[in-house]
Structure 1
Amino acid sequence: MSTREAIARLYLIINRLRTQQSSFKEIYEYLEFESDLQGYDYTISKRTFQRDIDDIRALYDLDIQYNSSSRKYYIAEENQSYGSDRKLEAFDIFNIFKVSDQLGEYIQFEKRKQQGTENLFGIIQAIKNKRKIEFTYNKFNQNEESLRLIEPYIVKEFRNRWYVFGKDNEDCEVKNFALDRISALVITDMEFKKSDTLNIDEYFRNSFGIYIPEDKTIYEVILAFDPLQGKYIKSLPLHESQEVLIDNESEFRIKLRIYLTYDFCMEILSFGDRVKVIRPNELTQQIKEILFGAWDLYENS
């Protein structure tokens, strides 16, 4: 059996168990059906299936368990990490890309420039091995490139962009750098020791996106949405601190503990007239200023 068939078989097993618990017989019949459909041989013995369970756990962080009462296998969701969800999502998309040429009339991908992910693996290796990285950086608000040397701590995704966070050797400040503006990346031989006082999870806990305000003031934000928009906010929370205060036929109200940043204001404005800031007053004023500024642009047009 080829490596391609083995990897595809793992994916088929996962897909089957994502949708329904199944006995080994049902899984075998499913693999047999897919073999006939795709022209490959995905059928396996029970012994090989047990090895596949171990491989799935190692590759995807998915724990497949056996229910002795129903005699069926299932994915233990309480042990499933967020990272494993993203791995499966990426694999789903990868498989779509493989057949996108044949399905052009059914699938339309967003057209966008490369996100700098060609440097992602190298940066992660530098973080893991505590090696400083050097690169040329092009800021949008500057006309010239600059050479940077940083201690990389973590990579973070926000709004379809990837960023690396680390301490800039020039001023010893923790900053973010967008991967799509990085070029000529070099993983140096210079080692660094990460500060014991910097907790990355805590660093971002009250942020929306990637920016941290200088004063680091945390606000209790209360937002009121109309019921329809509330369904979307409930299914995809704005922030990990989100707490539902009201959820009825006339209003969906939430509370957040968060920094007030421009990105957060833009997120609120994206909901238009379907959201109202209840408090704090500081956020209300920021939203008003942006709206009045937009009004001035169109007032005489």
Structure 2
Amino acid sequence: MSSNKNALIRYKTLDKCLKNKYRKYTLEDLIDECSEALFEFEGKESFVSKRTVQLDLQNMRSEKFGYEAPIEVYERKYYRYSDPDYSIHNISVNESDLKAMNNAVQILKQFKDFSMFKDMNGVIQKLEDSIHSTNQKSIIHLDKNEQLKGLEHIDILYESVLNKKVLKILYKSFKARESNHYIVHPQLLKEYNNRWFLICWHKGKIMNLALDRMEEIVTEEQTEYIDKDFDADRYFGEVIGATVSETQRPQNVIFCITPKHAPYVKTKPFHHSQEILKEDENGTVFKICVQLNFELERLILGMGECITVLKPDKLKKRIYKSLTEAVQNYSEDNDS
């Protein structure tokens, strides 16, 4: 059991003893009660030291955790609350605390219709009721789209990652003519640009499967799960988006942003590797070190006339080709 959970069990036990009006507790009694409580939770002997309980009492008395418990020692031997109505579970909150809690509730409400957060609905309602925030409009809005195809798969995929379950997924990529079955070992759920992906292990390599291309999911109970101890920060560290190549090395991508739009790219970098190479009246030249992928191209094309790719030539030619074809879509011959 974690040390934090141990401490919470001890605090709860001490609180129960200190507010008990019908029994006198010595320090040794409190030690025994804490040891017994931990034994009940862990199912094994758990000796709590005298110093640990003394520190717990000291923490409960202090402002460290917001308790400021009125713990007193009477007859130089017994411990109790000087206020018989006090409990660490009845801590009052000030107006500032209520505002902070209300802001947190408003953020949680953004997710309450999202399938994987459905079990939170009751908790959110209780929080709203307890801080009287039901009539306050939200002042924080998060971008989400519950109508995205594939969100119905979130629950089973989330549970499979959490509980280490192998899945059989019927999947049809945008390029495939027919659907195919994949036996996969789910490692992570990844969201990028309002689309969700399952990062999984399949036949000796990491795969990226879009949720909106999944047609059927079945749990493979008889197959042993392979846990790759997946490090998401490392895996996605050299890309923009969710598409990672196992063979491609990251390249220096150099681009120029017009003076008017450079501040936006400075304050919201394309990638964590971004740095400024030059800045003058013609614009700001940036450099990032990433793999060349579809998401990078979409990001650049989304900047329109505000960006010019300088290097590498391969990416520069791709962007030029895409823009040329886009211009043709607006030529007079295509007017309807």
TM over 0.5: yes
Residue 186 of structure 2 aligns with an amino acid whose one-letter code is P
Q: Which residue of 1 aligns with 2:148?
A: 114
Q: Which residue of 2 aligns with 1:237?
A: 269
Residue 153 of structure 2 aligns with an amino acid whose one-letter code is N
Q: Which residue of 2 aligns with 1:278?
A: 310
| Contact kept? 2:257, 2:306, Cα under 8 Å | yes
The CA deviation string for residues 120-178 of structure 1, in whole angstroms up to 9 with x for no partner, is 23322322332211222232233433222101111111121110011224xx3322111
Secondary structure of the residue aligned to 2:244 is coil
Measured in 1, the distance between the counterparts of 2:293 and 2:247 equals 11
Q: Which residue of 2 aligns with 1:265?
A: 297
Which has the greater radius of gyration?
Answer: 2
- Match status 1:127 vs 2:199: no
Q: Which residue of 2 aligns with 1:255?
A: 287
Q: Which residue of 1 aligns with 2:214?
A: 182
- Match status 1:150 vs 2:221: no
The CA deviation string for residues 216-247 of structure 1, in whole angstroms up to 9 with x for no partner, is 12111122112332222223221122223345
Measured in 1, the distance between the counterparts of 2:308 and 2:182 equals 42
Secondary structure of the residue aligned to 1:185 is strand
- Match status 1:139 vs 2:167: no
Secondary structure of the residue aligned to 2:234 is helix
The CA deviation string for residues 11-66 of structure 1, in whole angstroms up to 9 with x for no partner, is xxxxxxxxxxxxx9xxxxxxxxxxxxxxxxxxxx99447699xxxxxxxxxxxxxx
| Contact kept? 2:144, 2:194, Cα under 8 Å | no
- What does residue range 73-222 of structure 1 map to in structure 2 within 5 Å? 90-91=107-108, 93-94=110-111, 113-169=147-203, 172-189=204-221, 190-195=223-228, 199-213=231-245, 215-222=247-254
| Contact kept? 2:253, 2:290, Cα under 8 Å | yes
CA distance 1:229–1:183, shift in 2 (3 Å): same
Query: Alpha-carbon deviation of 1:249?
Result: 6.2
| Contact kept? 1:136, 1:147, Cα under 8 Å | yes
Q: Which residue of 2 aligns with 1:289?
A: 321
TM-score (norm 2): 0.54
| Contact kept? 2:186, 2:200, Cα under 8 Å | yes
Residue 282 of structure 1 aligns with an amino acid whose one-letter code is K
Residue 225 of structure 2 aligns with an amino acid whose one-letter code is F
Residue 179 of structure 1 aligns with an amino acid whose one-letter code is L
TM-score (norm 1): 0.59
| Contact kept? 2:145, 2:194, Cα under 8 Å | no
| Contact kept? 2:157, 2:186, Cα under 8 Å | yes
Measured in 2, the distance between the counterparts of 1:285 and 1:232 equals 25
Secondary structure of the residue aligned to 1:245 is strand
Secondary structure of the residue aligned to 1:141 is coil
The CA deviation string for residues 64-120 of structure 1, in whole angstroms up to 9 with x for no partner, is xxxxxxxx98xxxxxxxxxxxxx9885252479999xx99xxx9x987733423322
How many pairs does the alignment contain?
222
Secondary structure of the residue aligned to 2:261 is helix
Which structure ranks higher in relative contact order (CA pairs < 8 Å, sequence separation ≥ 6)?
1
Secondary structure of the residue aligned to 2:298 is helix
CA distance 1:285–1:243, shift in 2 (3 Å): same
Residue 213 of structure 2 aligns with an amino acid whose one-letter code is R
Measured in 2, the distance between the counterparts of 1:223 and 1:90 equals 36
RMSD: 4.1
Measured in 1, the distance between the counterparts of 2:113 and 2:160 equals 31
Q: Which residue of 2 aligns with 1:69?
A: none
